[in-house]
Amino acid sequence: MRCLRTFAVVGLLLGILGGNAAGADPDVVAAEATPDPMFRNHVQSVLTKSGCNMGACHGAAAGKNGFYLSLRGYNDEADWMAITRSAGGRRVSTTDPARSPLLLKATGTVPHKGGKRFEVGSPEYNTLARWIAAGAAGPRETDARMVRLEVLPAKARLRPGDAQALRVRAHFGDGRVEDVTRWAKYSSANEAVANVDDAGGVKVVGHGEAGVSAWYLSRIAVAFVTSPYTNAVSPEVFAALPRRNFIDDGINAKLRELNLPPSPRAPDAEFLRRAFLDTLGVLPSPAETARFLGGTAPSAERRDALIEGLLERPEFVDYWTYKWSDLLLVNSARLRPAAARAYHAWIRRQVESNRPWDAVARDLVTARGSTFENGAGNFFLLHDDPRLMAETTTQAFMGMSVGCAKCHNHPSEKWTNDDYFALANLFARVRAKNGPGDGERILVAAATGDLVQPRTGRPQPPRPLGGAALPSGDTGDRRVALAAWLTAPENPFFAKSIVNRVWANFYGVGLVERVDDLRVSNPASNEALLSAAADYLVRQHHDLKALMREILRSEAYQRASEPLAANAGDTRFYARYYPRRLMAEVILDAYSQVTGVPTEFKRATGNGDNFQFAYPTGTRALQLPDSQVASYFLKSFGKPDRIQTCECERTAEPSVAQMLHIANGATLNAKLSDPSNELTRQLREVPDARQIVRQAYLRALSREPSADETSRLAAPLDKAPAGEKRAVLEDIYWALLAGKEFLFNH
**Percent of the chain beyond pLDDT 90?**
83
pLDDT in tens, 581-593: 999 999 999 999 9
The residues, ordered by sequence, that sit 6+ positions from 518 with a Cβ below 8 Å of its Cβ are 398, 399, 400, 493, 496, 497, 500, 512
- Residue 221 forms part of a structural domain: yes
What are the pLDDT digits (tens) for 339-366?
Answer: 999 999 999 999 999 999 999 999 999 9
The answer as to whether 326 is a domain residue is: no
User: CA dihedral defined by 229, 233, 239, 240, rounded to 10 degrees?
Assistant: -120
Could you tell me if residue 236 is inside a domain? no
Mean pLDDT of 32-42: 87
Predicted pLDDT at 168: 98
Q: Are residues 389 and 272 in the same domain?
A: no
Question: How many residues does the structure list for the chain?
Answer: 746
Q: Tell me what the mean pLDDT of segment 620-631 comes to.
A: 94
Residue-level pLDDT at 412: 66
Q: Are residues 619 and 656 in the same domain?
A: yes
Average pLDDT over residues 69-96: 91
Q: Average the pLDDT over each of 216-230, 404-418, 504-518 and give the range with the smallest value.
A: 404-418
Express each pLDDT in 113-132 by its tens digit: 899 999 999 999 999 999 99
Confidence of residue 61 (pLDDT cuts 50, 70, 90): confident
Q: What is the reported pLDDT for 589?
A: 98
674, pLDDT greater than 60:
yes
pLDDT digits (tens, 9 = 90+) for 550-578: 999 999 999 999 999 999 999 999 999 99
pLDDT at 1: 35
One domain for residues 94 and 196: no
Q: Are 68 and 19 members of one domain? A: yes
Non-local (6+) Cβ contacts of 556 within 8 A are 247, 248, 251, 262, 507, 574
Residue 360 lies in a domain: yes
Which pLDDT score is estimated for 684? 95
From residue 373, how far is each of 360, 444, 625 by CA, in Å? 16, 14, 17
| Identity of residue 390 | A
Q: What is the mean pLDDT of the chain?
A: 92
The helix or strand, by DSSP H or E, that contains position 656, with its residue range, turns out to be helix 656-664
Q: In this structure, are 366 and 452 located in the same domain?
A: yes
What pLDDT is attached to residue 414?
75
Do 200 and 257 fall within a single domain? no
Do 666 and 532 reside in the same domain of the chain?
no
Domain count, the chain: 6
pLDDT per residue over 97-113, tens digit each? 999 999 999 999 999 98
**Does residue 351 sit within a domain?**
no
- Domain limits for position 115: 2-133
* Tens-digit pLDDT profile for residues 173-221: 999 999 999 999 999 999 999 999 999 999 999 999 999 999 999 899 9
> What pLDDT is attached to residue 384?
83
Confidence of residue 3 (pLDDT cuts 50, 70, 90): very low
Q: What is the pLDDT of residue 8?
A: 34
- Same domain for 661 and 735? yes
**Each residue of 130-159: pLDDT tens digit?**
999 999 999 999 999 999 999 999 999 999
- Mark whether 481 and 509 lie in a shared domain: no
Per the model's pLDDT, the better-predicted residue between 629 and 473 turns out to be 629
What pLDDT score was predicted for residue 316?
Answer: 98
The dihedral of CA 581, 585, 590, 592: what is its sign? positive
Out of 446, 472, 487, a domain closes at: 487
SS3 content of the chain, % helix, strand, coil (to 5): 45, 10, 45
User: Where is the domain boundary, 442, 471, 487?
Assistant: 487
The pLDDT of residue 5 is 37
pLDDT tens column, 638-664? 999 999 888 889 999 999 999 999 999
pLDDT surpasses 50 at 6: no
Q: Report the pLDDT value the prediction gives residue 62, as an integer from 0 to 100.
A: 84
